[in-house]
Amino acid sequence: MQSFNNRVGVEFVDGSDAEDNKAGGAAAGLWGVVAAVVTLLSLLLLLATFPLTVWTCVKVVQEYERAVVFRLGRVVKGRAKGPGLFWVIPWLDVIQKVDLRTVSFNIPPQEVLTADWVPLKVDGVMFYRVVDPSLWVMRVANGPLATHTLAQTTLRATLGAHTLVDILTQRKSIAQRMEEVLYAASRVWGVQVERVELKEMTLPLGLQRCMAAEAEAVREARAKMIVADGEVKASHALKEAASGFSPVALQLRYLQSMSSVSNVASSTLVFPCPTELLHAFT
């Protein structure tokens, strides 16, 4: 009994779907006939009053614009109209113009928590343009707002998957990754993302102080190592030079150094006296 009910239910559902499809097809066919009749009557009226209604039938769009035409609520087949002149039926057609120029959007500063738990505030800029006016009009209610919101969320999600060091050192690759994600998400709206750039990154004040102290300590340690290395090299050079002097040459060099020091004004010259000379007077 249960299997019989299931078969009956399946047959009933299938029959209702078929009836719905037939009803939908009949309604579509009836709508097409009505639309054709209304369009034909409108064209006859335009021909009858052509000298008077010609100015209302001509529309103009600029070189950087395209016009999406809706006739009785449906998009006219073919690509968007323009640029230049095109003909419309004034009381049947509704026109929506779309700008094809590149638009720049400044992404406002976003609070981001990096993968290593560092709070960061980042802003950027995005360049995009419309490549399919029909999709831009039909697929999204407010295209600019949707694109801007998508850019903000993508910025937070992309930077949140990287550490602070990666963000600071790999800005170009991160921007390219954001561009790919934005293009994949917005191309169904007829939008092409051309470029994404990260502008400024603001760290907390305490973290800036810690990073500055760390960098200063690293620079001081490096400077000390450089000084120590220079002293070692100087000592080796002096040792090699002293080993090549004879006693007479060493004495002459000593006297020359004393002479150069005595030429300096207000200088005090200290002459070392060997203790062996003092024994001769005692």
Highest mean pLDDT: which of 13-17, 170-174, 211-215? 170-174
For the entire predicted model, the pTM comes to 0.65
Per-residue pLDDT tens over the stretch 204-241: 888 778 878 888 888 899 999 999 998 888 888 877 77
d(CA 77, CA 211): 61
Domains and CATH numbers, the chain: 17-99 (no CATH), 103-203 (3.30.479.30)
Q: Cα separation of 200 and 159, whole Å? A: 13
Work out the pLDDT band at 13, boundaries 50, 70, 90: very low
Task: Give the start-end residues of each E strand in the chain.
Answer: 58-61, 65-71, 74-75, 84-87, 93-99, 103-113, 119-130, 191-202
Residue 261 has a pLDDT of: 67
Residue 273 CB-half CA count within 13 A:
5
Q: Where are the alpha helices (DSSP H) in 86-204?
A: 133-138, 143-160, 164-169, 171-186
**C-alpha torsion sign, points 245, 246, 249, 255:** positive
Q: What percentage of the chain carries pLDDT values higher than 70? A: 79
Backbone angles phi, psi at 99, to 5 degrees: -85, 130
pLDDT one-digit tens code per residue, 16-69: 455 555 555 566 667 667 767 777 777 777 777 777 777 788 889 999 999 999
DSSP class of 77: S
Of 108, 196, 94, 188, which is closest to residue 143 (Cα–Cα)?
Answer: 188
Longest dimension (CA), the chain: 145
Could you read off the pLDDT of 86-133 as tens digits, one per residue?
A: 888 888 888 999 999 999 999 999 989 888 888 899 999 999 999 999
pLDDT above 90 coverage of the chain, percent:
33
Contact 92, 42 (CB under 8 A): yes
CA distance 243 to 257: 18
- CA atoms of 202 and 97, how far apart (whole Å): 40
d(CA 123, CA 111): 9
245 vs 5, higher pLDDT = 245
pLDDT at 183 over 70: yes
